[in-house]
Structure 1
């Protein structure tokens, strides 16, 4: 049976509302309030051995001392799992739940999780180090919230590895885990593109960052047979020696190089200085990153007019949005000035 410790604020512990937000830290035996609802979901698989209670004002007025007291309490009782909340869209309560989970998991190694509304302040502060399940914005969603906490929590207590957030029913933690798949990235990308063009449902493997502004696509090229097509990459392809000193990560610089040099790939040879992927296959054949050979074949067949005489390169790993936007604007101005009609952008 999984032994659970449960953290609640003064309201959900039944002490009172804002007038009781200064309620001091205390430890109660057994389940209190939402804890009883959690046990209805876990059944005989778990028990709540302790409920940790603290008023929201009291917690934030003495955060370090309260966290030390919680850690000391749990170091003695040794629960298998800590559940905090659910806090829904409550700002101070959610932040307290995140802080408690973070401290307990990092200092004691006890699996911990909380439940919050996806737009609550605690998500931005703790999402990278605390397991969170999404809830509604108020206690009206209590039943669904405790069901999620029980399901994900029992998995954590059993040592089940975290899977993709959408499959686990969690709030994404902001990082991606590498997995082995039978379908290579190029094939998956083409499948997504074909589904999009056909108006079929598709799910991108890369989530759009919160707050990112969608960029409307440019109009289609009217006549490819007379169009000048340029190659741009953030895969870090540069001449050997990296003469323009482009950073291998967190780039602030870009450069352009003659495609004639790339076609021969000699004196100097081209290689990737990108720090975010295994570049040995690109170093062996740069066309795998910057498909000059394929574009030149299309030009020879008359499918496109010609390939622009320069290709443009930078590195995309860790680059800030500010620098990425600036470099994109600078490259775009250069391409327009050179009479380029369309660009093929490749990444890693």
Structure 2
């Protein structure tokens, strides 16, 4: 099986954050973690006498910032993989990196939708997991210290995918798998009794229908020196120019906006409004600074309490928005603000 491997700029050896803005490119053969994965695939091939050989024929690369801020990049990368003759696309491991995980997830989701088998690997708490759609995601460790065991799991998963089988939790799969009706030997009553017996024996994990869970978001470390720091304003309170010219949704957001505030000292009533459908906006529209405190932030800027205020604010609506979508917004916002040299953000919620 011909495999094309996707990695970010760091694992391709092109640089760290200073190279996060590079666009898509193709490299021949293996680079970075692909070299170890190639070795593990060879070992799998030698152990299985009748198994076809699987090899990485090309590596596609994109910078984390570029991938996070350009939603169409997945299709471009997919085209590169197709041009390289990919029969399977492998993305990652992204471990706990949000931007990298989001790029991996978008790529394998696009590949799966296009009919190309694909597999991503990242930590189960990575925000990218939810964006992979129906494409399988295999669990990785939290950091690159777990590189070898992670790639051992990936190599075994590739061997199973090559047979046409579906990956399961036993193969390290995380996230939601497609539910497929199939015949089993035991009736539901017998399976239920077995599950009760396992519960009585102390097994609290076994289930035929795994429930979704929510991760815990650890707060970021405080800014060492606020004096001199660049600070951005952001809100999920749907604050937009009067009339909502860009048609931001009032609920179940699918996108976010940015609006310039350079030279603006305060949000004036009648010029700005909240279109959030989740609360009564009368008081907010009477003074939009109640949603996003631009007036106070400008005072802090003039007093020298902060270095400077970022020249635009970011906005979406939190009302009814899916957790997976909100995670994606967070990754995209972080990439945008990091690229702009922002050290901290004030995010207001309604």
Matches within 5 A, 1:1-348: 2-43=1-42, 45-64=53-72, 66-107=73-114, 109-126=115-132, 128-156=133-161, 158-163=162-167, 165-197=168-200, 199-201=201-203, 203-211=206-214
1:118–1:78 CA distance, 2 compared to 1 (3 A): same
Higher Cα Rg, which structure = 1
Higher relative contact order by CA 8 Å / sep ≥ 6: 1 or 2? 2
Question: How much does 1:77 deviate?
Answer: 2.3
Distance 1:13 1:211 in 2: 32
Extract unaligned runs of 5+ from structure 1: 213-348
1:174–1:76 CA distance, 2 compared to 1 (3 A): closer
Distance 1:8 1:207 in 2: 30
Q: What CA deviation, in whole Å up to 9, does each residue of 1:116-160 have, x standing for no partner?
A: 10011011222x41211101110001001111112112322x242
Distance 1:195 1:97 in 2: 37
TM-score normalised by structure 2 residue count = 0.54
Distance 1:57 1:183 in 2: 50
Question: How much does 1:193 deviate?
Answer: 2.5
**Contact 2:122 2:129 survives alignment (8 Å):** yes
1:200–1:96 CA distance, 2 compared to 1 (3 A): closer
**Contact 1:112 1:153 survives alignment (8 Å):** no
Question: How much does 1:75 deviate?
Answer: 2.7
Distance 1:69 1:205 in 2: 38
**Contact 1:162 1:168 survives alignment (8 Å):** no
**Contact 2:129 2:175 survives alignment (8 Å):** no
Question: How much does 1:89 deviate?
Answer: 0.5
TM-score normalised by structure 1 residue count = 0.55
Distance 1:11 1:68 in 2: 21
1:210–1:52 CA distance, 2 compared to 1 (3 A): same
Q: Count residues in correspondence.
A: 205
1:181–1:91 CA distance, 2 compared to 1 (3 A): same
Q: Secondary structure at 1:13's aligned position in 2?
A: coil
Extract unaligned runs of 5+ from structure 2: 46-52, 216-350
Distance 1:201 1:40 in 2: 37
**Contact 2:30 2:56 survives alignment (8 Å):** yes
